[in-house]
Amino acid sequence: MKRAQRKLEHIKYALELGDGPRSTHFEDIRFLHNCLPEINPADIVLSVEVFGKQLRLPFLIDAITGGTDSVTDVNAKLSQAAAKLGIAMAVGSQYGAVRDGKGYASYEVVRKHNPDGVIIANISALATPAQACEAVKMLNADALEVHLNPAQELFMGEGDKDFKGLMDNLLRIRDGVEVPVIVKETGCGIATEEYARLKAQGFTHFNCAGAGGTNFPAIEASRYGKELAGDFAGWGLPTVWTLLDSAVTCNEGDFLIASGGIRNASDIAKAFALGADVVGMAGNVLRLVHEGGVEAVTTYFETLAEQLTRYLLLLGAKTPKDLRNVPVIYSGETANYIANRGYDLAALSKNRR
Ligand SMILES: Cc1cc2nc3c(=O)[nH]c(=O)nc-3n(C[C@H](O)[C@H](O)[C@H](O)COP(=O)(O)O)c2cc1C
C-alpha cells in the first residue's frame, strides 16, 4: 500500500467512522457550583505560554495529515485557522516523508501560513535521530511529538508488529533533537505504568490521546474491509482515565496535552481540571475543515473559548490551570476505576496534579 494512498484512507475512514464506540468518560465527572466565585470576567486569562511562545487560546489542532500533495490544502487551511486563532498545531506523521525524501511541501505549508506560531513536528517512535531532526527542521518546529501506536500498527496490514526496543529509540530521538519531545499516543491513552517508566527516563512532556474519539484500530480494520469485535472494538484507556493516571504520576513542572474525543467546552473544562496544560483535538477539526474550511474551524474554537470562560467564571477560576483545584465528583465506571487503581478518591476530588 502506497503511503499517499494510506494517508487519504485515514482521512476517509476517520470521517466515515467518527468517534467511539468507547466513551471518553467525561460524563462521569461533575463540577460543584461555587456560589461565591469572586471573579471579574475581565480578569480571566485563557492565554498560556508554550515552548517560549504565547498562545492566545490554550488549544492545539493535533496531528492529522501530511506527506502527499493531495493533503496540502487541508494543512494550509488548518494552519491559517491556527494562526488566526493563536492556537498550536501539530502535523501528521512526517516519518514516511523523511524516510523517502518526498512530500515535504504538504508540511512546509504549515509554517508558511503561521511563521510565528507554535508548530509541532510528528514522527514515529521507530525513526532515527537524524530523521527526527529532519522533521523538526522541515517546520522549524517548536517541539516534536513522537507517537506510540501499537494498537494501530497491529490492525494495519502493513504495520510494524515488532515493538521491542521502542524506549531505547525514544531516548535516542530525545537526545538527538534540540526541541522538547512530547511522547504521544494516538487514541488509546497512556497508563500510569507507562507514564512512570517514561518519567523514570526523564520524559516530561506527554500527549495522553485517550480512547473515546478517533479510533485508529477501527480505521485500520476498515481499510481492509473488516470490523473489529469484542475487546478490540473499543480498545484503549478512555481519555478521563489516562488523564487521571497522568494526574497521579506527573508533577507540577510536567507538560500535558489532553486529547482523545474532546469535543465541547464541558470536556475541555474537565480536561483542564484533570491537569491539562493544553487541550488538543483532531477528528472533529478534520470534519470541520472538510465541511466548512478555515471559517468553520475558527468559529468553533472561538465559541469553545467563550464557553470555557463561563466555566471558569462559575467555578471561581482565573485560568484553566486553576481548575485543577476546584472540587469535582466522580461517578459510574470512573469511580470504579479510581477504586480499582487504588487512587485516593477524596484527594482526586479536591485537586489534581
Ligand atoms: C485522519 C487522522 C490522521 C492522524 N494521523 C496521526 C499521525 O500521523 N500522527 C499522530 O501522532 N496522530 C495522528 N492522529 C491522531 C490524532 O492526532 C489524535 O491523537 C487522535 O485522533 C485523538 O484525538 P481526537 O479524538 O480528537 O481525534 C490522526 C488522527 C486523524 C483523525
- Alpha helices, DSSP H, located in the chain: 3-17, 72-85, 95-100, 105-112, 129-139, 150-155, 166-176, 192-200, 216-223, 239-249, 265-273, 283-315, 332-340, 345-350
Triad 124, 147, 143: Cα angle to 5°: 95
The pLDDT > 70 percentage for the chain reads 100
Q: Which of 214, 215, 279 for a ligand 1 pocket mutation test, highest count of atoms within 8 Å of Cβ?
A: 214
For 249-306, write each residue's pLDDT tens digit. Answer: 999 999 999 999 999 999 999 999 999 999 999 999 999 999 999 999 999 999 999 9
- Ligand 1 centre to CA of 322 (Å) is 28
Ligand 1: atom nearest CA of 286 is: 31
How far is it, in rounded angstroms, from Cα 70 to Cα 66? 9
For 118-132, write each residue's pLDDT tens digit. Answer: 999 999 999 999 999
Predicted local distance difference test score (pLDDT) of residue 161:
87
- Ligand 1 centre to CA of 238 (Å) is 15
Q: Hey, what's the torsion of the CAs at 76, 77, 80, 85, to 10 degrees?
A: -140
Contact between 94 and 173 (Cβ < 8 Å): no
- 206-222 average pLDDT score: 96
Structure confidence at residue 353 as a pLDDT band (50, 70, 90)? confident
Helix, strand, coil percent values for the chain (each to nearest 5):
50, 15, 35
Triad 306, 87, 294: Cα angle to 5°: 85
Predicted local distance difference test score (pLDDT) of residue 4:
86
- List the CATH number of the domain containing 266: 3.20.20.70
Burial status of residue 335 (CB atoms within 10 A of its CB: 0-12, 13-18, 19 or more): middle
Task: List the one residue out of 151, 92, 100 whose CA is nearest residue 124.
Answer: 92
Contact between 253 and 44 (Cβ < 8 Å): no
Structure confidence at residue 86 as a pLDDT band (50, 70, 90)? very high
Q: Which of 13, 17, 216, 281 for a ligand 1 pocket mutation test, highest count of atoms within 8 Å of Cβ?
A: 216
- 127-147 average pLDDT score: 98
For 175-196, write each residue's pLDDT tens digit. Answer: 999 999 999 999 999 999 999 9
Q: Is the pLDDT of residue 1 over 80?
A: no
Predicted local distance difference test score (pLDDT) of residue 268:
99
Residue nearest to atom 10 of ligand 1 (CA): 63
- Ligand 1 centre to CA of 147 (Å) is 10
Residue nearest to atom 19 of ligand 1 (CA): 186
Predicted local distance difference test score (pLDDT) of residue 160:
85
Amino acid sitting at position 323: L
Would you give the DSSP letter of residue 203? -
Work out how many domains the chain is built from and give that number. Answer: 1
Residue nearest to atom 2 of ligand 1 (CA): 64
- Ligand 1 centre to CA of 286 (Å) is 10
Ligand 1: atom nearest CA of 210 is: 22
- Ligand 1 centre to CA of 214 (Å) is 7
- 6-20 average pLDDT score: 96
Q: Which domain holds residue 103?
A: 3-350
- Ligand 1 centre to CA of 260 (Å) is 9
Task: List the one residue out of 135, 155, 138 whose CA is nearest residue 146.
Answer: 135
Predicted local distance difference test score (pLDDT) of residue 34:
96
- Output the average pLDDT for the chain: 97
